[in-house]
Amino acid sequence: MGYTWGTKWDDNRIKSELKNVMTALGIDRMPSRTEMDSVTHNTALSNKVMKTGGIRYWAENLGIEIKNSETTLGNNYEYLVMDLLTNKGYKVNKMTTKHPYDLFVNDHVKVDVKVSHYYHNDEVSFHTFGLGKKYHNCDIFICICLDDDDKVVKNLIIPSDFLIGIRQLSVGINSKYDKFNNKFEYIDKFDSFYASLQEVENES
């Protein structure tokens, strides 16, 4: 396939090129980043996908499934985060896949869990998380950064207000987002806020 750097990319071009990759591979699901790179012989398409919403966003856009291993990884860490929060004393409900977020904490706080291994590109290593839409449906993102051996490097607890307009979050080894590492107190802040609103409603 003739992919070149400097190509003008828009949503229609991305969709077309993804379908070309699927055809080349003989698959009816979303290709992984590695599969895109192997077919196109460069990283132009995969980089554009990752910068404009990520694997899950484009799979939903095209109405196709994602690779089972990626789905399993995400589901596993949703349960791990659920256990982690439960052990910290929170009440946690796991939501169905129809919900736009993964966990409902203390009957107030909407949490979406994201997980990423390192991506290695031109000697630069980073994590990248597909957040979907520019305006988010959760209160907090919990972004789990894994190393190549599946060990947790960072637990980023980021209020979604700090990420408005961002569909794809990239986090370097040294990142401005490191200040959110293990900041579980943000959950308490949201919980207190919603509880205070409930008290006002009950008094009225």
- What are the start-end ranges of the E strands in 95-204? 103-105, 109-116, 119-121, 124-130, 140-146, 152-159, 168-172
% helix, strand, coil for the chain, step of 5: 45, 20, 35
68-203 has which CATH code?
A: 3.40.1350.10
Q: What is the pLDDT of residue 26?
A: 87
* Averages of pLDDT over each 10 residues, the chain, 204 residues: 60 93 88 85 84 80 75 72 93 88 94 86 80 90 88 94 92 94 96 87 69
Question: pLDDT tens digits for 62-121?
Answer: 888 877 655 556 567 888 899 999 999 999 999 987 888 999 999 999 999 998 888 776
Q: What is the pLDDT of residue 3?
A: 46
Contact 81, 70 (CB under 8 A): no
Give the pair of three-digit tokens for residue 45: 């398409």
Domain boundaries defined on the chain: 11-62, 68-203
pTM score, whole prediction? 0.69
Question: In terms of Cα–Cα distance, which of 169, 142, 145, 151 is closest to 54?
Answer: 169
Q: What is the pLDDT of residue 91?
A: 95
Measured CA to CA, the distance from residue 58 to residue 60 in angstroms comes to 5
